Chains A and B, each alone.
Chain A
């Protein structure tokens, strides 16, 4: 069965510090991978998606970047965090062929 791992669960970082959130998927090959952010009480905002190694599409210009160094690994990064980067970050995968998205448990990031 497919499993998605996302860590850490919570993170508190000062403004200006770097960020690296990692997501890995097990049990599937060549998945579509996604990073979402959710503000309190709001829906999910798509940040990045990837349909293959090294293929990254950005949906919202911002302070963040994403990379896919391996087939089942998706990394969200920032060189210098802003206060506005605080939020709930979710990684998701889909096998394609109109199979549903499956989400990780998320990382709650607080930038202070």
Chain B
């Protein structure tokens, strides 16, 4: 699975969009981009994933660059409850193994 790079921390004002970047320049053709978030002392929660097309669900939007070397998770209207650590990973779950980096700590401020 490809290595991912994320900024260690970001701030966002409540009600504004939070844009979380992720670099995955070594991603292979059969690896998807997954985003998770973790609130303290809980298991990571799945948010969204995609292969090459942009994706949207009730939680967030995922924008993947055309060359697939980077992506951005967008929380359109951040709330205080969105404060968490966000992990981006590139993997193929059919292959079994998966590793997580240290993620981005997003702090939503009132």
Contacts and interface: CB of A to CB of B under 8 A. Distances in A.
Interface of A: 6, 32, 34, 36, 42-46, 49-51, 57, 59, 88, 90, 92, 94, 96-106, 108
Interface in B73-110: 87, 92-94, 96-103
Interface string B29-55: 000101010000111111001010000
Given A43-B87, A46-B99, A98 B94 contact: yes
A100 B49 contact: yes
Given A98-B92, A105-B42, 14 more contacts: A43-B100, A44-B99, A46-B100, A49-B97, A57-B97, A59-B97, A59-B99, A88-B41, A90-B44, A94-B93, A98-B93, A101-B34, A103-B44, A106-B43
Contacts, number: 67
Interface residues of B, number: 23
Overall SS of chain B's interface: loop
Contacts of B44: 44, 90, 101, 103
Contact of A98 (B32, B46, B87): B32
